[in-house]
Structure 1
């Protein structure tokens, strides 16, 4: 059904990549995404490299489908992480939170495919100049770490496509088959899902966070630390509302205890990184059901476009 440069390069059935969210993007969730036809990704942004190495090993037990690893450079200071990933036979890596100059040559020399996460046209041009194979183009709608000079996906994606012809994974604001169709129409080869995967049954986070996403409106996220980067998009809570009112305050300096939030369910213990698509998520569903719906909704979206073009 799908035939994009992303599905061709990675051997996946559906051009959907799961976001590499710290403490969340581990084998339980990533294997479910890969087994359902998308691309599961193991995170490194938690910095717990000993645990992450075990999670990569678990992926071999839980799936025989392709999967990837993200190297979040600002949080990974162990240079041995790259040789370890190479030795594990991982074929696809995304790099983020740092310069594409750092690891691209080393990874590509070992035969890996490398995509770099970019929030702007200038960053995209630099990444391609450094030799990456593709880009994750991240609009400001998405949850997590953001460019303080925020640009929405609807502007950023076609802008970068107009200047570059490398494969693109569109991130930020994508949620379903209709937004996948929109991304492809704007020049992407696939999409990345983060918040939708946080609120999946296989997500390891506490049900309190999942239900907070289900109950959220489209206006229930905040953009933090615009003047004290890194900027963050997160779910509105008492903690994040306080930080929102002081744009010079660093969200990272007042991030809190992530494990108490992620696994203990205390929504005020830390900053719940969440994208604007929380306003469109109405239920906690299995990864298999989420991706099956993406396929069905994609077909419906194409039919709507086809019907409109004939009118």
Structure 2
């Protein structure tokens, strides 16, 4: 595969990035994706500082290739997390859910490549102004926490591309080589894929959750809890409880009380499919089996190359 802005920026073989997902992307998944030629990401969002440190050290032993860490900036121990990332010599950091101005200059000063995740043109431009090296523009098809604007990937990517001069990574609703090619034709320099890697052997999420992702059909996820932080979830008992509460015009406090603590951990990590929060993308309807991460990377790239060959026939 020819080098491009993203493969050059991260020094990787393919412009394919595994998303940093809470409760799913520990060192095993990140190192497997990096070893297969993509960019693996450790999702720090579900890790205490000491746990992150352990994952970083294990990942460095498991791969000689570049890997990254995703840091949601809503994190309570943010300073401690960033100190560990710097001390452990992490070379690439993806930030999300916060102001990129806060940490970008500090990380860049340490020689770290910084990427920020956004869901709109406005925030893509703010990230560029903050000095990030690339932007992930994520459409509302994506799993987990999401943009309030509900802009889909197909409309978001060309709109961001039109205004942005730094490299652009597309995310949301991409799980195949054809999807990857479509995103790149629309202007992306690479893609970030989450849901497909949840259904991998190496994902740290619970087997029950992986199986539910594989069994999910079209229409079985929905964006909810916009008043707190919009999140796309599989429909289960907890989701139905949220929907039921909305019929009573709840206050923000009512929603917070229902959500409680560690709801995502309960669902995705502990495998409680009834009471847990099960974050996954719309593309789960196209995911039919659980495979090794290296196989997923290989199949996506093979399909990408095959689809590229078919283009002249159109």
Report TM bin, short chain.
Answer: over 0.9
SS of match in other structure, 2:183: helix
From 258, 266, 279, the equivalent of 2:285 is: 279
Counterpart residue number, 1:103: 103
Q: CA deviation at 1:148?
A: 1.9
Equivalent pair of 2:263/2:275 in contact (CA under 8 Å): yes
- Bigger helix fraction: 2
Q: Please give the per-residue CA displacement for 1:134-172, whole angstroms capped at 9, x wherever unaligned.
A: 101011000000122211000111000001121111110
Q: Please give the per-residue CA displacement for 1:186-244, whole angstroms capped at 9, x wherever unaligned.
A: 11111111111111111122221111111111211011012x13010011112113313
Equivalent pair of 1:114/1:132 in contact (CA under 8 Å): yes
When structure 1 is superposed on structure 2, of 85-94 and 215-224 the one drifting more is: 85-94
SS of match in other structure, 2:158: helix
Instruction: Give me the TM-score of the superposition, normalised by structure 1.
Output: 0.94
SS of match in other structure, 1:79: helix
Equivalent pair of 1:13/1:37 in contact (CA under 8 Å): yes
When structure 1 is superposed on structure 2, of 39-48 and 291-300 the one drifting more is: 39-48
Counterpart residue number, 1:23: 23
SS of match in other structure, 2:85: helix
Greater than 6 Å deviation, 4+ residue runs = none
Aligned-partner Cα distance in 1 for 2:2–2:212: 33
Aligned-partner Cα distance in 1 for 2:265–2:165: 40
Equivalent pair of 2:49/2:84 in contact (CA under 8 Å): no
Q: CA deviation at 1:46?
A: 1.4
Instruction: Give me the TM-score of the superposition, normalised by structure 2.
Output: 0.93
Q: In structure 2, do the counterparts of structure 1 residues 153 and 91 end up closer, same or farther at CA, with 3 Å as the change threshold? A: same
When structure 1 is superposed on structure 2, of 143-152 and 255-264 the one drifting more is: 255-264
Equivalent pair of 2:16/2:191 in contact (CA under 8 Å): yes
Is there any run of 5+ residues in structure 1 with no aligned partner, and where?
none
Question: In the TM superposition, what are the counterparts of 1:213-292 in structure 2 within 5 Å?
Answer: 213-226=213-226, 228-247=227-246, 253=257, 254=259, 257-292=263-298
SS of match in other structure, 1:12: coil
Counterpart residue number, 2:181: 181
Counterpart residue number, 1:150: 150
Q: CA deviation at 1:47?
A: 4.4
When structure 1 is superposed on structure 2, of 20-29 and 158-167 the one drifting more is: 20-29
Counterpart residue number, 1:204: 204
Equivalent pair of 1:47/1:76 in contact (CA under 8 Å): no
Q: Please give the per-residue CA displacement for 1:49-94, whole angstroms capped at 9, x wherever unaligned.
A: 1101110111111111100011211024341322321222211111
Aligned-partner Cα distance in 1 for 2:26–2:52: 8
Equivalent pair of 1:47/1:75 in contact (CA under 8 Å): no
Equivalent pair of 1:173/1:276 in contact (CA under 8 Å): yes
Aligned-partner Cα distance in 2 for 1:40–1:160: 24
Equivalent pair of 1:139/1:150 in contact (CA under 8 Å): yes
Counterpart residue number, 2:302: 296
Aligned-partner Cα distance in 2 for 1:75–1:252: 17
When structure 1 is superposed on structure 2, of 72-81 and 229-238 the one drifting more is: 72-81
- CA RMSD in angstroms comes to 1.6
Aligned-partner Cα distance in 2 for 1:300–1:260: 40
Aligned-partner Cα distance in 2 for 1:117–1:42: 15
Equivalent pair of 1:260/1:269 in contact (CA under 8 Å): yes
When structure 1 is superposed on structure 2, of 39-48 and 136-145 the one drifting more is: 39-48
Q: CA deviation at 1:260?
A: 3.2
When structure 1 is superposed on structure 2, of 171-180 and 45-54 the one drifting more is: 45-54
